[in-house]
A and B are shown apart, each in its own frame.
Chain A
C-alpha cells in the first residue's frame, strides 16, 4: 500500500474502472443511439440514420432549443449581476469573516434542489406569501399570477445557481493583489475606471466559469420549468425527458442529449480559452 510513485495507477484503477463502466460506456451507448432509427414499438432499430440530428434542427425543436437558450442566458446574466457585487463585498470584508460569509453563501447550494424550488411555489402562488403580503399592505385587486410564468422559471434558476457563481467570482477576486488596484489609482485612474480596466478584466475567468455553469445547468434543467413554469415552458431538459419517458423515442432523445453535451463542451472550451487569454495578458503585463 505504499504509494511512493510506484503504484499510482493501481490506486486509481478501481475508481477509473467505475467511471468508465458506468459513465463513459453508458454515455457512448446513448449517444450511439442517436445514429439509429426508432423502433416501431419504441426501442431502437439498428439502421443507420442521421435523421435524428436533422430533427434537432427542425424549426419546431430548434425553436425550443433557442427559447431555452434564451431563458438560460437571461438566468445567467441575472445571476452574474447579483453574484458579482456579492462576491466583491465578501472579498472586501475583514479577512477573518470571509470564509464564514462564503460558507453561508454556498450552503443553500448543497441543500435539496427540489426544496429550494418548492420554496418559490410557496412565495409566488396566488394564495402565496407575496400575494398575502400585498393584501395585508392594502392591495385589493386580483391576486397576482406570478407562478407558472417565464419570470418564475428564471427566478428559480437564478436562486438555485447563484451560490456557485458567487463562489467562482470570489475565487478570482480573492487572488487579485490589491497592489494592482492601488497602482491604477496612483496612476490617476478613478475608481470606476480602475474597476472597468483592472479589476473586471482580471476577474473575467471567474465570471466565465460561473456563467458557463449556470447556462449549462439551466438549459438542461427539467425540474424548474416543470415546477415553476407549470410545464408551459419547455427547456431542452424537458424535451429529453419526454423522449425517454413519454414519447418513447430514445434515438431522438439521444440526439437532443448529444446537442446538449456539444453545447456544454463548446462553452467549456471557450471558457478555457478566455481563462488562458486572461492569464496570458497578465504575464504580458508583468513582462512589460
Chain B
C-alpha cells in the first residue's frame, strides 16, 4: 500500500475525489446564487438580483442583526473567560482531571442535550428567554474553544521570560501586559474568531433558548425555516454570504495561529 500510495497518482486521485465531494455541493450553491432564474433547472444568465432581494427582506435583515449581537457579545465574554481559564489551567502545578473534563465537555456533549438542558434550566428559573439567553448559552462552547486554542499556544510558551521580566523588576501586571499578552495575542484573536464563527453558525442551542416569538430569531433559525420546505433562491445568496464570512474569519484565524502548526 505504501509504495503504490506514495507513487503520486493514486494519492492525487483520492484527494481530487474527496475534495470534490467536500466542495462541489458548496460550489453549486454559490453558482446558483448568481443564476437569474434562481433554480437549478437551467442557467438563465448571471444576476445579483437574489442578493438585492435579501436586502429588501426585513425578516432576514433583523435575523442578521440579532446574529451579530449574539455573536459579538458571546465572543467578547468567551474570549476573556477562555483566555483566563487557559492561563489558569496551564500554570497549575498539577493537572486536574475534573478541570480537564469540564473544559472538554462543551466540545463533545450532543447539542440537543445541552439545548434541552438550558431550556429546562431557564424556564425553571422563570427567566424570560431572548437574545441574552442565547448569548449565555453560546459562551459555554465558545469559551471551551478559545481556551483550547490559547492553551495550545501556552504549551510552547517559555515561562522563563516571565521570570526574567520579574527579576528585572517588572510588576506582575506589567509583566502580563508587556510579556505574556503580546505572545498570546495571535492565539487569543484566533480563538475569538473561531468563537465568532461558531456563534454565527450555531442553530440548535439558539433554537431552544431563543424563547417564543419572532423577535429573537437568529440567521440560522431563519435559514432553517426557509429551507424546511424546499428551495428558495434567496437562501442560495444568503448561504453564499454566510459561508464567505465564516471562511474569511477562519482564514484569518488560521493565519494568526500559523506558527503553532510548525513544531
Taking beta carbons and an 8 Å cutoff, which residues of A are in contact with B? 1-5, 7-16, 18-20, 22-27, 29-31, 33, 82, 85-86, 88-90, 92-93, 99, 101, 103-105, 107-108, 110-116, 118-123, 125, 127-129, 132, 159, 162-163, 166, 181, 185, 191-192, 194-195, 199, 213, 216-217, 220-223, 226-227, 237, 240-241, 244, 250, 253-254, 257, 260-261, 264, 268
| Partner pick for A93 among B11, B99, B236, CB 8 A cutoff | B11
Q: Counting CB contacts under 8 A, is B252 at the interface? A: no
Residues of A within 8 A of B28 (CB): 119, 122-123, 129
| Partner pick for A121 among B42, B139, B204, B230, CB 8 A cutoff | B230
Residues of B within 8 A of A227 (CB): 227-228
| Partner pick for B15 among A27, A90, A110, A132, CB 8 A cutoff | A90
Measured CB to CB, the closest approach of chain A to B3, in angstroms, equals 5
Q: Main SS of chain B's interface residues?
A: helix
Whether A116 and B92, one on each chain, are in contact in the complex, defined by CB atoms closer than 8 angstroms, is: no
Smallest CB gap from A213: residue in B:
B108
| Partner pick for A194 among B2, B92, B136, CB 8 A cutoff | B2
Residues of B within 8 A of A223 (CB): 203-204, 224
| Partner pick for A122 among B11, B85, B200, B231, CB 8 A cutoff | B231
Smallest CB gap from A17: residue in B:
B81
Whether A125 and B91, one on each chain, are in contact in the complex, defined by CB atoms closer than 8 angstroms, is: no
Residue-wise interface mask of B (178-203) relative to A, using a CB-CB cutoff of 8 A (1 in contact, 0 not): 00100000000000001001101101
Interchain Cβ contacts within 8 Å, total number: 280
Give B216-263 interface residues, CB cut-off 8 Å to A: 220, 223-224, 227-228, 230-231, 235-236, 239, 242-243, 246-247, 250, 254, 258, 261
Residues of A within 8 A of B261 (CB): 99
Whether A107 and B250, one on each chain, are in contact in the complex, defined by CB atoms closer than 8 angstroms, is: yes
Smallest CB gap from B118: residue in A:
A26
17 contacts between A and B (CB under 8 A): A7-B88, A9-B92, A12-B85, A12-B89, A30-B120, A92-B5, A107-B250, A122-B29, A122-B32, A122-B236, A162-B18, A162-B21, A191-B1, A223-B224, A226-B228, A257-B112, A261-B113
Residues of B within 8 A of A31 (CB): 117
Q: In the complex where A112-B220, A119-B26, A121-B231 touch, is A4 in contact with B3 (Cβ < 8 A)? A: no
Smallest CB gap from A129: residue in B:
B40
Residues of A within 8 A of B147 (CB): 15
Whether A2 and B166, one on each chain, are in contact in the complex, defined by CB atoms closer than 8 angstroms, is: yes
Whether B6 and A92, one on each chain, are in contact in the complex, defined by CB atoms closer than 8 angstroms, is: yes
Interface centre among A118, A123, A226 (most CB of B within 10 A): A118
Interface centre among B108, B236, B258 (most CB of A within 10 A): B108
Residues of B within 8 A of A162 (CB): 18, 21-22
Q: Counting CB contacts under 8 A, is B211 at the interface? A: no
Stretch in B49-57, B58-66, B168-176 with 4+ CB within 8 Å of A:
B168-176
Whether B143 and A18, one on each chain, are in contact in the complex, defined by CB atoms closer than 8 angstroms, is: yes
Q: Counting CB contacts under 8 A, is B48 at the interface? A: no
Residues of A within 8 A of B172 (CB): 1-4
Q: Counting CB contacts under 8 A, is B213 at the interface? A: no
Whether B246 and A111, one on each chain, are in contact in the complex, defined by CB atoms closer than 8 angstroms, is: yes
Measured CB to CB, the closest approach of chain A to B160, in angstroms, equals 11
In the complex, A166→B22 CA distance in Å? Answer: 12
Give B96-139 interface residues, CB cut-off 8 Å to A: 99, 102-103, 105-106, 108-114, 116-121, 124, 136-137, 139
Residues of A within 8 A of B119 (CB): 244
Besides A1-B172, A3-B180, 19 more A-B contacts (Cβ < 8 Å) are A2-B176, A3-B176, A4-B159, A9-B88, A15-B103, A19-B105, A22-B118, A22-B137, A25-B121, A105-B18, A111-B242, A114-B203, A118-B227, A159-B21, A163-B22, A166-B18, A220-B111, A223-B203, A227-B228
Q: In the complex where A26-B117, A29-B124 touch, is A112 in contact with B163 (Cβ < 8 A)? A: no
Whether A260 and B227, one on each chain, are in contact in the complex, defined by CB atoms closer than 8 angstroms, is: no
Residues of B within 8 A of A1 (CB): 172-173, 176
Smallest CB gap from B262: residue in A:
A99
Measured CB to CB, the closest approach of chain B to A265, in angstroms, equals 10
In the complex, A113→B230 CA distance in Å? Answer: 16
Q: In the complex where A111-B201, A114-B227 touch, is A19 in contact with B140 (Cβ < 8 A)? A: yes
Interface centre among A19, A125, A194 (most CB of B within 10 A): A19
